[in-house]
Amino acid sequence: MCGIVGIVGHNPVAPLIVDALKRLEYRGYDSAGVATIEDGRLARRRAEGKLINLERKLAEEPLGGLIGIGHTRWATHGVPNEVNAHPHFSENVAIVHNGIIENFSELRAELVADGFVFASQTDTEVVAHLIARELMRGAAPKDAAFAALKRLQGAFALALLFRGDEDLIVGARNGPPLAIGHGEGEMYLGSDAIALAPFTEAITYLEDGDWTVVRRSGAEIFDMEGRTVQRQQQQSVGTSFLVDKGNHRHFMEKEIHEQPEVIAHTLAHYLDFTNGSVKPFETPFNFAEIDRLAISACGTAYLAGLIGKYWLERYARIPVDIDIASEFRYREMPLSNASAALFVSQSGETADTLASLRYCRAEGVPIASIVNVRDSTIARESDGIFPTLAGPEIGVASTKAFTCQLSIFASLAVRAGLERGTLTQDEARAMVRSLSEAPRYASQALRLEERIEKIARELSQVRHVLYLGRDTSYPLALEGALKLKEISYIHAEGYAAGELKHGPIALIDETMPVIVIAPHDRIFEKTVSNMQEVAARGGRIILITDEEGAAGAALDGAETIVMPTMPEFIAPIVYALPIQMLAYHTAVVMGTDVDQPRNLAKSVTVE
């Protein structure tokens, strides 16, 4: 999604803004721009495509000025070209914006009737003209901004620059995140703490409905009634890392390889491996006291929740409802007094997940969330959080956050099973011991990379792929298909293996590879029958299983990825790795932009 930066300081800001924008690249974007006040005038450079294009422009035509705003744009209204790129200008105002102004058509019509001429197709430009109109009517910049903000409906984080005041950036937030960074005689605005990391770790997060007046000397924050509000300044927890790929070609590759370590860190946060027990971490509800758990999330985080459902129901006997957050938020699900809600989000900013959380808040149920960004909005609005210790995930396709989310679900299943008396101490200890082996098996899975790379070369030749799995391998099949399509652009579908004959079997022919995820578990034989159905119709099978499974399947002509033999409980965590590697290497062979695939954003802050 769009990224925002604002700096008011003592040095030329354009290079600093570009530097900060680079740290927001991971969010996904398709054009970028920067505006400053140079020699008393608003000036800007914008470019379609990656930041390198903007840098080239700035090298040809440098931009001076000690105050400025910058933007990476993920197109919503209007194609990703230079004209639609931010910052947008109207008279003496410049604006960058993340979000969607829902009443923009109505506002645009009103402004056109007033004689304003629109240069772009964006919803953002209406805000610039609204403010310009207030300025023309004699309002001071701060008052003009406030008056315009009150007219806006929808989601926005924005930053404004005013010609005539070189010590003022106005920022506002309603939905997408916006943070103020505090420096020494220098102040910043940014979409997240990562963007501001080179400048400061002292951060104040705006809350929904807040707007701020930022000057070199500090920032004042107001609410939508215009009253001053106090928001706590904090040391950011996510800033100390460098956005660095190390020796890897892509962040995604690096993040896949980090998994043994981050899974271990995450598990060790919740489990005590020395005595095989669950640590007494805080939970916002007691699992023994709830009769239902509602889980809601988007994309890969949703699929982690789906595996969590299998585990929580099986081991702790808690009925779990799981929903895609964009559905949950509108479907008015009844929640009883004894329900609890659990949200899953790497970024902690996903608009639909946040809206679902707020629905549950209004329903009065206790709220927990599994988040990777600990100072995110979802984290801050939850009654309690279960942090994943994945570290910053930069590749747009989620990998290590997913396996860390699974690690938490597995730990919660053990904890909940003990609290509800559905697991004995011995059973729980055995499960914790199994989990303690997950990082080791994940390392072993990484050693299969060469074999997977070879299969990926074949996969890169096809247009359609089917993924099949049963039980906890079913959400993995969905995840495999999601990963492949998002980074290689090959069409892929995931199905429950048993569902094959209810429709998708019609697709099977010799051109359609079918990737079957089937550790040798209780239901392995059932999946083998489904594989036979595929083989009988000439389908090409790629089987991900263990040694026993490979021997048991006995399928002529099938490609097999042989995983280490491991306890059934931890298989979803470890089997995620070959699935990720398969998608990664296919995309590499195809030459796509692996870390920032087309049309996708890392942090989806609009619905």
> Where along the sequence are the contacts to ligand F6R (CB under 6 A)?
298-301, 345-347, 350, 353, 397-398, 482, 486, 604
Please say which residue, 270 or 302, places its beta carbon nearer to ligand F6R.
302
Longest distance between any two alpha carbons in the chain, whole Å: 81
Q: How far is the CB of 76 from ligand F6R (least distance, A)?
A: 16
- Number of residues assigned to the chain: 607
Look-up of token digits 């990703």: 80
Please say which residue, 63 or 303, places its beta carbon nearer to ligand F6R.
303
Measured CA to CA, the distance from residue 403 to residue 410 in angstroms comes to 10
Please say which residue, 38 or 375, places its beta carbon nearer to ligand F6R.
375
**Residue type for position 90:** S
Please say which residue, 222 or 584, places its beta carbon nearer to ligand F6R.
584
Please say which residue, 55 or 352, places its beta carbon nearer to ligand F6R.
352
Count Cα neighbours of 364 within 13 Å in the Cβ-side half-sphere: 3
Q: Which of 2, 298, 360, 404 is catalytic?
A: 2
Catalytic-residue membership of 501: no
Q: Are 519 and 473 in contact, with CB atoms under 8 Å apart?
A: yes
Measured CA to CA, the distance from residue 361 to residue 306 in angstroms comes to 22
Q: How far is the CB of 257 from ligand F6R (least distance, A)?
A: 17
Q: How far is the CB of 322 from ligand F6R (least distance, A)?
A: 14
SS3 68: strand
Q: How many CB atoms lie within 10 A of CB 571?
A: 25
Q: How far is the CB of 299 from ligand F6R (least distance, A)?
A: 2
**Residue type for position 27:** R
Residue nearest to ligand F6R (CB): 299
Q: How many CB atoms lie within 10 A of CB 230?
A: 7
**Tokens at 431, concatenated:** 């499960």
Q: How far is the CB of 144 from ligand F6R (least distance, A)?
A: 35
Beta bridge partners of 466: 493, 514
Reference 444, options 577, 315, 290, 570; nearest CA is: 577
Reference 381, options 334, 323, 333, 341; nearest CA is: 341
Catalytic-residue membership of 309: no
Please say which residue, 127 or 295, places its beta carbon nearer to ligand F6R.
295
Q: How far is the CB of 592 from ligand F6R (least distance, A)?
A: 14
Q: How far is the CB of 348 from ligand F6R (least distance, A)?
A: 7
Residues 6+ apart with CB under 8 A from 128: 88, 89, 90, 93, 94, 95
**Residue type for position 464:** H
Please say which residue, 350 or 407, places its beta carbon nearer to ligand F6R.
350
CA 128 to the chain's CA centroid = 29
Reference 531, options 517, 551, 520; nearest CA is: 517
| Residues that are catalytic | 2, 602
